[in-house]
């Protein structure tokens, strides 16, 4: 398989075909039994990948110019899959067969796919904060409030984020692209109400009796305080 991608190659070694591969790419091609062959750098290898780059340019000019407007990455992926299916009926220049006919001839020569798919997502082990959220690459995603304080597994895909508590999937969100954003799920917080849990720390309020105001002393009609009563009587003899 001819490949020259920055995501797959960590370093080019001199002017040869040798490469230091990205460990994720090595695991991916080993899982599917792919043998990689890299082009030679410079003018000596310029003719080795021209056909591939020419078809990529054709696809971009015919489908991505102008840039399509979509509401989500999933919608864009569905559009690309439809374009790929339509491309099966296309002939490249003056070739006698269509792209789909050539692939049908090559299909029996391909190896069968493994029973288990390769996990392409990035795995993180994260702690759920007091707001029932996990922070993934500067963005925050909500999880059920019953997981506050626990450590969960988070798999970051190109288009979505999946959260697991052990082997159980507990949350799935569309991935946020911009930085510093938050993706909430109302149902996760409604569980706190039904389970009588408090998802946010609340400062206790003490039921103290309100102080009673003292009554002012009675005033005379003239606005003066009443005089003290005068004690009268005969003093006892000594």
Residues paired with 152 in a beta bridge: 126
CB 128 within 8 A of CB 150: yes
Tokens of 233: 């009587």
The SS3 call for residue 105 is helix
Whole-number Å distance between alpha carbons of 238 and 95: 145
Task: Give the least confident one: 37-41, 44-48, 177-181.
Answer: 44-48
pTM: 0.55
Whole-number Å distance between alpha carbons of 135 and 176: 11
pLDDT one-digit tens code per residue, 144-160: 999 999 999 999 998 89
Whole-number Å distance between alpha carbons of 133 and 234: 87
Task: Give the least confident one: 7-16, 34-43, 146-155, 181-190.
Answer: 7-16
CB 98 within 8 A of CB 130: no
Burial class (CB in 10 A: 0-12, 13-18, 19+), 108: exposed
Whole-number Å distance between alpha carbons of 159 and 201: 33
More confident residue, 15 or 125: 125
CB 143 within 8 A of CB 128: yes
Task: Give the least confident one: 46-55, 96-105, 124-133.
Answer: 46-55
Whole-number Å distance between alpha carbons of 169 and 175: 16
Whole-number Å distance between alpha carbons of 98 and 89: 6
pLDDT one-digit tens code per residue, 184-196: 888 877 766 665 5
What's the DSSP call for residue 197? Answer: -
Does position 198 have pLDDT exceeding 80, yes or no? no
Largest CA distance in the chain: 147
Helices (H), the chain: 23-32, 50-63, 73-87, 99-106, 186-194
CA-CA distances (angstroms) from residue 155 to 12, 32, 233? 30, 21, 99
Cα angle: 186, vertex 191, 193; to 5 degrees: 100
What is the full DSSP assignment across 159-185?
Answer: SEEEEEETTEEEEEEEPP-SSS-EE--
Whole-number Å distance between alpha carbons of 127 and 189: 17
């Amino acid at each position: 398989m001819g490949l020259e991608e920055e995501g797959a190659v960590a370093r080019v070694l001199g002017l040869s075909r040798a490469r230091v591969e990205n460990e994720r790419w090595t695991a991916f091609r080993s899982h599917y039994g792919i043998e990689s062959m890299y082009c030679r750098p410079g003018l000596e290898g310029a003719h080795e990948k021209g056909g591939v780059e020419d078809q990529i340019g054709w696809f971009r000019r015919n489908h991505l110019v102008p840039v399509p407007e979509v509401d989500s990455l999933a919608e864009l992926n569905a559009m690309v899959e439809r374009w790929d299916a339509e491309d099966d009926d296309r002939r490249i220049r003056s070739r006698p067969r269509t792209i789909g006919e050539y692939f049908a001839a090559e299909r029996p020569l391909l190896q069968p796919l493994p029973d288990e798919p390769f996990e392409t997502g990035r795995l993180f082990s994260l702690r759920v904060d007091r707001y029932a959220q996990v922070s993934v690459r500067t963005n925050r995603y909500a999880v059920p409030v019953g997981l506050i304080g626990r450590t969960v597994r988070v798999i970051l895909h190109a288009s979505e984020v999946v959260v697991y508590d052990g082997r159980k999937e507990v949350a799935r969100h569309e991935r946020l692209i911009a930085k510093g954003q938050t993706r909430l799920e109302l149902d996760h917080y409604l569980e706190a109400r039904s389970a009588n849990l408090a998802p946010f720390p609340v400062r206790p309020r003490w039921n103290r009796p309100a102080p009673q105001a003292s009554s002012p002393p009675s005033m005379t009609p003239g606005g003066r305080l009443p005089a003290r009563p005068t004690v009268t009587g005969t003093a006892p003899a000594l």
